[in-house]
Amino acid sequence: MKQIYIILTHTGTTLSKIIKSFTKDEFSHVSISLDINLEKMYSFGRTNPYNPFWGGFVHESVNSGTFKRFKRTKALIYSLEVTDKQYEVIDRLINHMKSYKKIYRFNVFGLFGVGFNKKVKIKHGFYCAEFVKYILKKADIDIELPELIRPENFKDIKNARIIYKGLLREYGKTKVRPLEYIKNGLEVVNHKEGIV
């Protein structure tokens, strides 16, 4: 068995604030990672930290791009146990998108459609939540997510465990011990190893 990670974030950018004003959700973006250090973290979003409408498939990093620019980004991180086969499918799909990222587009119309409760699909196009849902479904992971998907919906994935809540840039600075308490305003849940 292996672990994957679902990362919900809110950067506080103008676009994220607009999305939040429509959805009233705590988080406005979601990414998927294949490692606990978030070095392999992927989504669909802005490819230029200064242009919210120029986007596509992105390899995200805590220390570069949009997350580096917006240092007050809030995060909620879940771990989800998957089989070796499911992990391999996810890895293969992500590597395919990395290799052919020029054909994939940022579905900005679908993103705004969510605010009006309307699904808008474009060929080879995703917004962040569509992408993560697509990857999980293709890997045959047992999830129940709505057709019109928002980042907030990933809070409802069964068997996912919260491993961190706080500023994204603070993630990884402290090793987690098996415990359950609230420390410095960060929620920590039982798990054997991870990050708070």
Q: How far apart are CA 106 and CA 65, in angstroms?
A: 16
pLDDT, one tens digit per residue, over 53-98 is 678 999 998 888 888 888 899 999 999 999 999 999 999 999 999 9
C-alpha distances in Å from residue 32, one per residue of 44, 151, 184: 10, 11, 26
Domain ranges of the chain: 2-188
CATH architecture, domain 2-188:
Alpha-Beta Complex (3.90)
- Residue 169: exposed, middle, or buried by beta-carbon count in 10 A (0-12, 13-18, 19+)? middle
Q: What are residue 182's phi and psi, to 5 degrees?
A: -110, 125
Q: What does the block give as tokens for 98?
A: 């990395």
51 Cβ contact list (under 8 Å, min separation 6): none
Q: What does the block give as tokens for 19?
A: 């999305």
| DSSP SS3 for 104 | coil
pLDDT, one tens digit per residue, over 141-192 is 988 999 999 999 999 998 899 999 999 999 987 554 333 333 334 444 433 3
Q: End-to-end CA distance of the chain, in Å?
A: 22
